[in-house]
Amino acid sequence: MADIGWSLSGIDTVRWRIQGGSLWRPPVTVRRDVLTLPGRHGVTVTGRPPVFDEPTVTLELLCEGNQADLEALANELLGILAHPALTLGRYSGGLVTSAPAQFVSLSPGEFVPDVGAFFTVSLAVPGVFMRGASADSAPVVVTDGATVTVATLAGSTGPVPDAVLRIRGAATSVHVVDVVTGTGLSWAGPALAATDYLFLHAATLTARRSTSATAWASGGSNVTGQLDYPGPGPLQAWPAMEGADPADRRVKLTVTGTGFDATTALAVRAQPSYL
């Protein structure tokens, strides 16, 4: 069996005999950010990071069996597709990813009673990127101006717009910037002690401080009022080829700030991102 396929909310589409007309990976469309100026050839590029449109994935499926089997298989398929919490999964060559999806359409195709029925299913991926499993990077002790490679995001092909940064004190201010795009998050507030942790959420643009190292999602006190980001925008952790090896793709963040000491460290919770 080929190491390539799709799943719907965790159910492998081999259940409905996925056909060769299905897409083997999501299409990619870039929404270009350019200016057209009178009297100038071509266009002027703004320099902002690329923005991607949501892809639509088309799957060709075949249900086989007697009429009772066909009706049951079709209803199973529709029941999964119509659920508001639908997820689309993909596995290929050992890489397993998934993303929230929206049901766009189901079109019945050729039908032979008591034998088989073809269906064409279209699904949208609103968040654009297929994602790997969430992981926490090991904390890295940082000094002012240090560049940190986020090992858990190695191999990504798309940006990560929803990372959570954890900064262990001591620190009075901290700025974390993506090396590729210049996007980032910064915080300046009452000083963090060596026993304090600061959590910065790129997706929700919120900040919390806590004495617990595991308060990634909740707990502690809200300090969002001291959160900011640079001109290029909120943090998007963007992978880039290392040297001349396209197989070696890394996410790097530069950390600057004040009040650092030997305990100041950065860790990142995030999911790898794939186009």
Q: Tens digit of pLDDT for each residue in 211-242? A: 999 999 999 999 999 999 999 999 999 999 99
* Predicted pLDDT at 45: 87
Instruction: Report the C-alpha gap between 266 and 139 in whole angstroms.
Output: 5
Three-state DSSP class for residue 13? helix
The residue ranges of DSSP E strands in 179-236, in sequence order, are 184-192, 197-201, 206-210, 221-222, 227-228
pTM of the predicted protein model? 0.91
Confidence of residue 255 (pLDDT cuts 50, 70, 90): very high
* Predicted pLDDT at 245: 96
Tell me how far CA of residue 175 lies from CA of 165, 186, 259, in angstroms: 11, 4, 12
Contact 171/195 with Cβ under 8 angstroms?
no
Q: What is the pLDDT of residues 31-71, one digit of tens each?
A: 988 889 999 999 988 888 889 999 999 999 999 999 999 99
* Predicted pLDDT at 20: 84
Give mean pLDDT, residues 116-127. 96
Sequence-ordered list of residues with C-beta below 8 angstroms from that of 16, at least 6 positions apart, any chain: 61, 62, 63, 73, 77, 119
Tell me how far CA of residue 69 lies from CA of 16, 48, 60, 63, in angstroms: 11, 53, 18, 8
Confidence of residue 89 (pLDDT cuts 50, 70, 90): very high
Give mean pLDDT, residues 90-96. 96
Instruction: Report the C-alpha gap between 60 and 120 in whole angstroms.
Output: 5
Q: What is the pLDDT of residues 122-176, one digit of tens each?
A: 999 999 999 999 999 999 999 999 999 999 999 999 999 999 999 999 999 999 9
The DSSP result for 241-270, as a single string, is: EETTEEEEEE-EEEEEEES--TT-EEEEEE
